Structure 1
Amino acid sequence: MNINVKTPAVSASTEAFLKRAHKLYINGEWVDGVSGETIDVLDPATGRVISTSTAAVAADVDKAVAAAREAFDKGPWSKMTGIQRGKLISKLASRLEELADELAEIEAIDCGKPVTYAKYVDVGLTANIYHYMAGWASKVSGETVSLANPGDYHAFTLREPVGVVAAITPWNFPLVLTAYKLAPLLAVGCTCIIKPSELTPLSTLRFVEILEEVGFPAGVVNVITGYGSPAGSALVEHHGVDKVAFTGSVTTGRKIAAAATGNLKRVTLELGGKSPMVVFPDADLDRAIPGLAGAIFFHQGQVCTAGTRLYVHKSIHDRVVEGIAAESRKLKIGHGLELDTTMGPLISSAQLQKVMGFLDQGKSEGAETVIGGGRIGDVGFFMEPTVLTNTHDGMSVVREEIFGPVLCVQAYEDDDLDAIAAKANETIFGLAASIWTRDLSVAHKMAKRIKAGSVWINAHNVFDPALPFGGFKQSGWGREEGAEAIRTFTEVKSVCAVL
């Protein structure tokens, strides 16, 4: 299979942005990196260089942390009222909506995702997160406490910002996953340093230009671009950082947890997933089959919550598998900037090779390919949407996070919910899951049994700023979004006065 890949024209504003010299953003200024080194940013659909970013080193991190520390300790950000912070956050959210077309173009060419999805999913959800968290800014408070001991006391709690936060984001959803961290930390009065992936730094850099435009004070948000080492590691280990909020791999998450012990900084980790989808024989297949296909093929499977393990009752196994294969044939594979594209490339040559390696290993272990399984063309990093059957829990394709458009299917015959849930829970991960049935009693019983931070019923990948998000087991620590996000960026102080 081959596709004709050309880079479509972009708007004048996006073209001008791509051509800019992208520096570091520290203390309200765009500055050169100490090393003078740059990193090529590639269009994954063509493999061509579309821009460059600055490769920060430890000395740059020191400057950024100092700026964030100054802005937090001496103001003005932490000294503003919640309403003042909320107004600025709302202004930012509205400006993101106004610039949705440009931001979507940047996200599409940088990440390889379809531009339509980038506009309505990435930018739309991002703006909603800031709108939602803007409302929280004026509602962060403690509570009065009635003490257990006798006596005359006035006791209460204060909820205060944790301080300087290092927000480290991955390459698959830069705008959204930055918002998961930045919106609540700004709402409560923290300051931060953002470290985007070196593969996809562009939308974060454009976002900070917008943040500067709407009037955020200097030092409140700083951006360090560069590699995980030295930039990311220097940031995580820095004693001037009070908390790390990270989204990425389990391997890197473990390293961050270990590095954080230096000054016992707080840590939130949103890590990998191997999300099960359980389909019962009574499921509405006309609704379920497109939903199951979307769960694995959306953004080429490069989603931490992607529905990668499908457990389907034997009585409907063949119909479901054939239906998903048919849905995959409908996908229009091409450059993300083409308006009719519904599936773009993988992020890099390395990621493509990693996914193909998993497929080779799966086939050697007995997995059967129903559809897909190959690379598409020799330009860019495209691969076919893939469905594997005859899989079992001992296979690497079933156990490990692939981060590509690969679905592993298993049939089951058992009607015992505990046994079905045990299959779904047979993983080190616990990020998300979906249940497909018309029987709401079965659905809610299964939701209680499945060990995952998000469980969706008759849907997959439903995200909302009000819903807490995070994982069980090795899928991470803590929660983002909703009221839980406010808690994770604050400390509770108890105050007791003897009357």
Structure 2
Amino acid sequence: MTVDATQDDWIRRAKTLAFPGAHIIDGADHHGGGGTFAVVSSRDGQVLADVADGGAAEVDLAVAAARRAFDDGPWPRFAPAERGRVLLRIADLIEERRADLALTVSLEMGKPIGDAHDIELRALIGTFRWYGQLADKLTDESPHTAPDALALVTREPAGVVGAVVPWNFPLTLAGWKVAPALAAGCAVVLKPSENSPLSALHLGRIAVEAGLPPGVLNVVNGNGPVAGKALGLHPDVDVLAFTGSTAVGRHFLRYSADSNLKRVWLELGGKSPNIILPDAPDLERAAATAAWGIFFNQGEMCTAPSRLLVHSSVAEQVTEAVVERARALRVGDPLDPATEMGALVGPDHLDRVLGHIHAGVDAGARLRTGGDRVLPETGGVYLSPTVFDRVDAHSGLAREEIFGPVLSVLTFDDLGEAVALANATEYGLAAGLWTSDLSTAHRVSRALKAGTVWVNCYEEGDLTVPFGGMKQSGNGRDKSAHALEKYTELKTTWIQL
């Protein structure tokens, strides 16, 4: 399929897809004994596939396979260059099957097909290629000591990694964890969201086909409170990497305390501020980017700029521009290349987002546009792009992560107030700032409590820079060489000469 494919082309291709349903354990399909659960497309409410429902027994088998692969298998003992070549083969196979993988993501979680193909799959391919190329570029240390001793500091793979990933970017976020863990020489048990297991199962099969030894990457389907909990509590898991809600992140910390004190790395929620100052280099572009940022991926992003903080002197101008763009946004079938905003992941999530909207109205915020379900005749889960202004800084709209296409506009009169508003949240994942003044850009960026600050842009970056949060948005970093710190241990060897 090419970029010129039509909605009918994608619909026809969807009818030919064969979805995997079994877990991948020790390099082979494993159906388990826990029954199955249905994966339902938020596009039209239709069942895509029934997949094996994993529990503690399947997690035990997968962890045991990963432990054997790590303790006795060849993967940690491969030359780093050889591990890199396998990761590059995985990237090549993903590229060959890019259309089907994008289609799977679009069907299982509602992402527009253009975004799935051009953004999600591009990120996944790029991630495996980047870590494949990095694998043999890392160096150890030999600190300067007294002449009668030699000190060596080496990085060694941490062991068995449990990776639990969400549904909003099911392949991108899996890649951000799996690729660096494999590059480091670890073995992995991947637990995808129960809403989006199909793309992860495809990825697991591609990895086996690319030559990854049995047990090095296992994929176990299942519900978070069952399979995820079993992975978090497992005494043979050395590292747990999780992306998801702050509430679930707390559970994984408890699981670590109640088991083997495994290291837990968390990338959690966000309520990211996007600050527009009167001297923004282009107010129209700032407003357009603010609208794109909150409505991209249906607002189902931890970094979504859900709080638009605008100086009072330009607030009405900027808000009107955002509202205009929201009203013009094309909401519709994820398989239509013209669609700009697809379906939310499921009915329960829609109800949750609508609950936040209704609470915002009750709290006195002004609903400028949207706020209602659309296209119910399709059987899918669609919501109109929603913008509130006159939002109380202490209200739920300003403080709680909604994880949907809902923007809250707040105003300020001076820079100190803007920074205080931006930091008045338990989260610290990302922030945006629009200004033409270089000094302001540096001073405000330093003052913002966020893992990433975008200046005169939003959601920009590449694999060379780390990604992660502060405060209750988590710890550790995905992307860049820093991600390897999560999956390695430092060892000091002191040799007396």
Which bracket does the TM-score occupy, shorter chain normalised? Answer: over 0.9
2:161 aligned partner: 165
Of the structure 1 ranges 201-210 and 168-177, higher mean CA displacement relative to structure 2 is found in: 201-210
2:82 aligned partner: 84
Of the structure 1 ranges 97-106 and 268-277, higher mean CA displacement relative to structure 2 is found in: 97-106
Provide the C-alpha distance between the structure 2 equivalents of 1:286 and 1:202, rounded to a whole number of angstroms.
40
CA contact (8 A) 1:432 1:455 kept: yes
Describe how 1:202-213 pairs up with structure 2 within 5 A: 202-213=198-209
Instruction: Note closer, same or farther for the CA distance 1:53–1:463 as it changes in structure 2 (3 Å cut).
Output: farther
2:3 aligned partner: none
1:412 aligned partner: 412
CA contact (8 A) 1:140 1:159 kept: no
1:224 aligned partner: 220
Provide the C-alpha distance between the structure 2 equivalents of 1:144 and 1:179, rounded to a whole number of angstroms.
32
2:366 pairs, out of 365, 368, 384, with: 368
2:185 aligned partner: 189
SS at match of 2:153: strand
1:265 aligned partner: 262
SS at match of 1:155: strand
Provide the C-alpha distance between the structure 2 equivalents of 1:152 and 1:118, rounded to a whole number of angstroms.
58
CA contact (8 A) 1:471 1:477 kept: yes
Provide the C-alpha distance between the structure 1 equivalents of 2:416 and 2:155, rounded to a whole number of angstroms.
41
Provide the C-alpha distance between the structure 2 equivalents of 1:468 and 1:141, rounded to a whole number of angstroms.
19
1:25 Cα deviation from its structure 2 partner:
0.3
Per-residue Cα deviation, 1:229-260 (whole angstroms, up to 9, x for no partner): 22111111001100000000000000001101
Provide the C-alpha distance between the structure 1 equivalents of 2:23 and 2:168, rounded to a whole number of angstroms.
21
SS at match of 1:338: coil
1:389 aligned partner: 389
Describe how 1:144-163 pairs up with structure 2 within 5 A: 144-147=142-145, 152-163=148-159
1:26 aligned partner: 25
1:329 Cα deviation from its structure 2 partner:
2.1
Per-residue Cα deviation, 1:443-464 (whole angstroms, up to 9, x for no partner): 1211111000010011111241
Instruction: Note closer, same or farther for the CA distance 1:17–1:239 as it changes in structure 2 (3 Å cut).
Output: farther
Instruction: Note closer, same or farther for the CA distance 1:337–1:315 as it changes in structure 2 (3 Å cut).
Output: same
Describe how 1:108-187 pairs up with structure 2 within 5 A: 108-147=106-145, 152-187=148-183
1:285 Cα deviation from its structure 2 partner:
1.3
TM-score after normalising by structure 1: 0.95
**Percent of pairs with identical residues:** 41
Per-residue Cα deviation, 1:322-347 (whole angstroms, up to 9, x for no partner): 10111112211111111111101111
Provide the C-alpha distance between the structure 1 equivalents of 2:471 and 2:8, rounded to a whole number of angstroms.
43
2:63 aligned partner: 65
Which one-letter code corresponds to 1:294 in the other structure?
W
1:186 Cα deviation from its structure 2 partner:
0.6
Per-residue Cα deviation, 1:64-99 (whole angstroms, up to 9, x for no partner): 001000000012100101000001111111221222
2:289 aligned partner: 291
1:281 aligned partner: 278
Of the structure 1 ranges 209-218 and 170-179, higher mean CA displacement relative to structure 2 is found in: 209-218
1:407 Cα deviation from its structure 2 partner:
0.4
CA contact (8 A) 1:277 1:309 kept: yes
Provide the C-alpha distance between the structure 2 equivalents of 1:151 and 1:94, rounded to a whole number of angstroms.
49
Instruction: Note closer, same or farther for the CA distance 1:188–1:118 as it changes in structure 2 (3 Å cut).
Output: same
SS at match of 2:313: helix
Per-residue Cα deviation, 1:350-388 (whole angstroms, up to 9, x for no partner): 110001101111111110001111111323111110000
CA contact (8 A) 1:243 1:266 kept: yes
1:12 Cα deviation from its structure 2 partner:
7.1
CA contact (8 A) 2:17 2:100 kept: no
Provide the C-alpha distance between the structure 1 equivalents of 2:331 and 2:11, rounded to a whole number of angstroms.
22
Instruction: Note closer, same or farther for the CA distance 1:472–1:485 as it changes in structure 2 (3 Å cut).
Output: same
CA contact (8 A) 2:393 2:410 kept: no
Provide the C-alpha distance between the structure 1 equivalents of 2:12 and 2:190, rounded to a whole number of angstroms.
27
1:16 Cα deviation from its structure 2 partner:
4.5
2:436 aligned partner: 438
* Aligned residues between the structures: 487
CA contact (8 A) 1:418 1:449 kept: no
Describe how 1:233-272 pairs up with structure 2 within 5 A: 233-261=229-257, 262-272=259-269
CA contact (8 A) 1:90 1:134 kept: yes
2:47 pairs, out of 36, 46, 49, with: 49
1:15 Cα deviation from its structure 2 partner:
4.0
CA contact (8 A) 1:11 1:102 kept: no
1:10 Cα deviation from its structure 2 partner:
4.1
Provide the C-alpha distance between the structure 1 equivalents of 2:107 and 2:20, rounded to a whole number of angstroms.
17
Describe how 1:467-486 pairs up with structure 2 within 5 A: 467-486=465-484
Which one-letter code corresponds to 2:457 in the other structure?
A
1:141 Cα deviation from its structure 2 partner:
3.0
SS at match of 2:107: helix
CA contact (8 A) 1:140 1:188 kept: no
1:402 aligned partner: 402
Q: Please provide the CA RMSD for this pair.
A: 1.4
1:498 aligned partner: 496
1:14 Cα deviation from its structure 2 partner:
5.0
| Structure 1 position 341 matched with structure 2 position 339 | yes
CA contact (8 A) 1:27 1:64 kept: yes
CA contact (8 A) 1:43 1:49 kept: yes
1:4 aligned partner: none
1:140 Cα deviation from its structure 2 partner:
3.0
Instruction: Note closer, same or farther for the CA distance 1:13–1:344 as it changes in structure 2 (3 Å cut).
Output: closer
1:104 pairs, out of 98, 102, 105, with: 102
Provide the C-alpha distance between the structure 2 equivalents of 1:192 and 1:75, rounded to a whole number of angstroms.
13
Provide the C-alpha distance between the structure 2 equivalents of 1:14 and 1:84, rounded to a whole number of angstroms.
36
CA contact (8 A) 2:327 2:369 kept: no
1:498 Cα deviation from its structure 2 partner:
0.9
Provide the C-alpha distance between the structure 2 equivalents of 1:389 and 1:329, rounded to a whole number of angstroms.
15
Per-residue Cα deviation, 1:136-178 (whole angstroms, up to 9, x for no partner): 211233200223xx56111111100110000100010010000
Task: Show structure 2 runs of 5+ residues with no match.
Answer: 1-6
1:13 Cα deviation from its structure 2 partner:
6.7
CA contact (8 A) 1:28 1:222 kept: yes
Instruction: Note closer, same or farther for the CA distance 1:473–1:325 as it changes in structure 2 (3 Å cut).
Output: same
Which one-letter code corresponds to 2:396 in the other structure?
S
CA contact (8 A) 2:271 2:306 kept: yes
Provide the C-alpha distance between the structure 1 equivalents of 2:201 and 2:484, rounded to a whole number of angstroms.
25
Provide the C-alpha distance between the structure 2 equivalents of 1:132 and 1:323, rounded to a whole number of angstroms.
38
